[in-house]
Structure 1
Amino acid sequence: MLIFQTANWTLLESSLVFGGCALVITFAGTRITRVVDQLADRTGIGEAAAGAILLGASTSLSGVVLSVTAAWNGHAELAVSNALGGIAVQTFFLAIADIVYRRANLEHAAASAPNMLQNGLLITLLAWILLAPNLPDATIWGIHPVTPILFAFYIFGIHLIRGVKAAPMWHPSVTRDTRQDQPDPESRIPSLLRLWSEFIVLMAVLGAAGLTLEPAATSIIAQTGLSQTVVGVLLTAVSTSIPELVTSIAAVRRGALTLAVSGIIGGNAFDTLFTAVSDIAYREGSIYHAITSEVEFWVSLTLLMCGILMIGLVRRERYGLGRIGFESSAILVLYIAGVVMLLIS
């Protein structure tokens, strides 16, 4: 693994490297969303599936590389807080996207069975992570049993999501505000070879940025005295999640509402696997049992936010306070309150 010599970095140098990586992640992550949208149209897999699998995995790559690198270097708290803090902030970004979409509540307009199933999968995976520290601290080859369970549940969930798209057993009621994503004209879509080539290059850029971001974050922690949870939740998680904010707003503005919602929720479900792969990389035992009370708080808060989002997806309120759904209002308040509590604790 590439090793960065950060011992002699000043706080300014660490901050510049961190900021530069964040800009690279923003650019590459924003561009890859357009590529994924075109791949969904060219291959016919659909916006929801593309959002859950391709977009969720690709825009999360920098975050997973950062968490794995942190776990490998023994920084368990940073690895887990980056993973779980990213889920919280991306759920917050979904509420921001709802504010941007002024025609109706975003969850009403983008209602679909795959989006609801994705959110149910996310809640299940988060519950396993919250349960793990309360299970026996036993590992096999340094890996806790919850880790393969997370992978198995994720793969099974993706299988169910694809099945729901092919043969849905439930359909949302179509209203005048319901929007279905329309594919671009095929003549305007680049060839599959070009799309996949650009996708792979952008994935490599995002991975390299995540690899560089971890030592910069570690240096900032050492020089400022901030806790790993604060840096993970408020700095690394936010910086690696910026593409989700930019791309969800861009998708909303061009009418790709299902992609906007599924990209966030699908990315969040994929982000739970950060913890699983971090457990594999962490060689000092079960990473779940290295989770601090602050991190457990964020898992619980994120579960609450996702539960409220699920209620919103089922209820489908057309208009609420400020022309956004009640679930978006609640998520905004909960996330901001969580940040305040983290800073003053």
Structure 2
Amino acid sequence: MSSLPSAVLLLIFVVSAAVIWGAGIKLSAYTDVLAQRLHLGAALGGVVLLAIATNLPEIAITVSAALSGETEIAVGNLLGGIALQTVVLVALDAFGVRERKPLTYMAASLTLVLEAALVVAVLLVVVAGTQLPADLIFARFTPAPVLIVVLWVLGLALIGGPGSRLPWQDNGEAPQGQEHPRGHAREQTEKQASDRGTSTTRAVLVFTTAALATLVAGVTIETSGETFFGNLGLSGVLFGATVLAAATSLPELSTGLSAARAGDYKLAMGDIFGGNAFLPVLFLLITLISGEAILPHAQASDIYLTGLGALLTTVYLVGLVVRPQRQILRMGIDSIAVLILYVIGVLGLIALS
């Protein structure tokens, strides 16, 4: 795309973002329908299906960038995406909560605390992986990405199994939280689809079409954006961590707002934490495609973004435990802190780049 005029590149980028937004909404809705009808629900299979479906743009960008040798864009998009998708919770707090209470107050549960802890644990493995020798590779496998996958699967099994039956009062659910149990928004989505007469076959077709559209748009948004914003002087890491991460976070924003407005605040936060825990799993995919140890070659900005993502997640983890009730501009104190820290973090990233 390097030969195309800047105006055409920008148009392709915007259209691709619009496709990701629209297809992402359909993908999320029909993922809920299929998870309910296939009786996956909150089981491990359902969580994996949801994680993959909601992160198809990142998967497409990862594969495209790895095949073209632009691994720094893929790494920046994954790690920057974790930080930015955590900031999506700020928008959900400000515009999605119906009650005059902060998001973490309404959603508080020990299960969400475990999910946030899983995100931090996976990011710590990312940091540790950057310190390993680059030649520590066998059959295209390196220790850190493999450990990330194992940790992710074990974490999901723990949260979906014993984690859902915690030996605490009310299974670790906080009092005065959301009225209905977590996941009722997905049940409503499936019920609405059934009322419209949507068959399982149609749900599969729409899901597949939306997935393909998302994958294609993920490739075009990465290639057009890299050229356009690169011509403006934006480095690959900074582009991947900010502009590209923002574009690929649009589906999470839309579906999160939908769940929050339905009063399913636990689901809204859980989807964000679940997606963020899944993104580092894609480092294994980058390693398998490129045949190189990616994390040992991480730049200072990559480690910086990893720390930023862990820091923002920790703020919300604390918020889920402390449950602040004070609001500023309809946001909890924890959301205000996350927003401020993210702005400072982006300024620091610019200084690094």
SS in 1 for 2:130: helix
Note the C-alpha offset of 1:222. Answer: 4.3
Aligned residue among 135, 142, 147 for 1:149:
147
Instruction: Report the Cα distance in structure 2 between the residues aligned to 1:292 and 1:21, rounded to whole angstroms.
Output: 28
1:197 corresponds to: 205
1:229 to 232, 237, 248: 237
Query: In the aligned structure 1, how far is the partner of 2:337 from the partner of 2:47?
Result: 24
Is the deviation greater in 167-176 or in 95-104? 167-176
> Is the 1:249–1:260 Cα contact (8 Å) retained in structure 2?
yes
1:161 to 159, 162, 165: 159
Equivalent residue number for residue 92 of structure 1: 87
Q: Which residue of 2 aligns with 1:302?
A: 309
* AA at the equivalent of 2:300: S
Report the CA distance between 1:124 and its aligned residue. Answer: 1.0
Q: In structure 1, what residue type is equivalent to 2:289?
A: A
- Tell whether the 8 Å contact from 1:76 to 1:290 is kept in structure 2 after alignment: no
Task: Give the conservation status (yes or no) of the 8 Å contact 1:59–1:243.
Answer: yes
Residue 114 (structure 1) shift: 3.4
Against the structure 1 CA distance between its residues 92 and 227, is the aligned structure 2 distance closer, same or farther, given a 3 Å change threshold?
same
Aligned partner (choices 2, 6, 10) of residue 7 of structure 1? 2
Map 1:12-161; keep pairs closer than 5 Å: 12-43=7-38, 45-46=40-41, 52-100=47-95, 101-103=97-99, 104-137=101-134, 138-161=136-159
Name the CA distance, whole Å, in 2 between partners of 1:319 and 1:40.
37
In 1, Cα distance between equivalents of 2:7 and 2:331: 40
1:134 match: secondary structure? coil
| Distance in structure 2 (CA, Å) of the matches to 1:177 and 1:161 | 20
Instruction: Report Cα offsets for 1:133-186 as digits up to 9, x if no partner.
Output: 112222123432212111111111121122046533342344334332433284
Question: Normalising to structure 1: TM-score of the pair?
Answer: 0.89
1:3 aligned partner: none
Q: Once superposed, what is the RMSD of the aligned Cα atoms?
A: 2.4
- Whether the 8 Å contact between 2:54 and 2:275 is mirrored in structure 1 is yes
Identity %: 29
Gaps of 5+ in 1: 1-5
CA distance in 1, matches of 2:220, 2:195: 36
After TM superposition, the structure 1 stretch with the greater mean CA deviation from structure 2, 172-181 or 242-251, is 172-181
- Cα deviation 1:72-123 (Å, max 9, x = unaligned): 2111211100111111100000121011214112122123343222212111
Q: Is the 8 A contact 2:107 2:269 kept in 1?
A: yes
Alpha-carbon distance in 2 for matches of 1:222, 1:302: 24
Task: Find the aligned partners of 1:10 and 1:214 in 2 and give their Cα distance.
Answer: 16
- Whether the aligned pair in 2 keeps the contact of 1:62 and 1:209 (CA below 8 Å) is yes
Q: Does 1:326 align with 2:333?
A: yes
What is the DSSP-based 3-state SS (H/G/I as helix, E as strand, rest coil) of the residue aligned with 1:262? helix
**Cα drift, residue 27 of structure 1:** 0.4
Specify the SS of the correspondent of 2:167: coil
Secondary structure of residue in 1 paired with 2:2:
coil
Query: Per-residue deviation at 1:333?
Result: 0.8
**Structure 1 residues 319 and 51, CA, compared in 2 at 3 Å: closer, same or farther?**
farther
Q: Which moved more, 1:158-167 or 1:286-295?
A: 158-167
The count of aligned residue pairs is 339
* Distance apart, 1:281 and its partner CA: 1.8
Equivalents in 2 of 1:17, 1:338: separation in Å?
A: 29
Instruction: Return closer, same or farther for 1:235/1:174 CA change in 2, 3 Å cut-off.
Output: closer
Q: CA deviation at 1:194?
A: 3.0
Give 1:53 deviation, angstroms.
3.0
From 215, 218, 225, give the equivalent of 1:217: 225
Q: Show the counterpart of 1:271.
A: 279
The answer to whether 1:207 aligns with 2:204 is: no
Pairwise mapping of residues 170-185 of structure 1 onto structure 2 (< 5 A)?
170=168, 171-180=171-180, 181=182, 182=184, 183-184=187-188
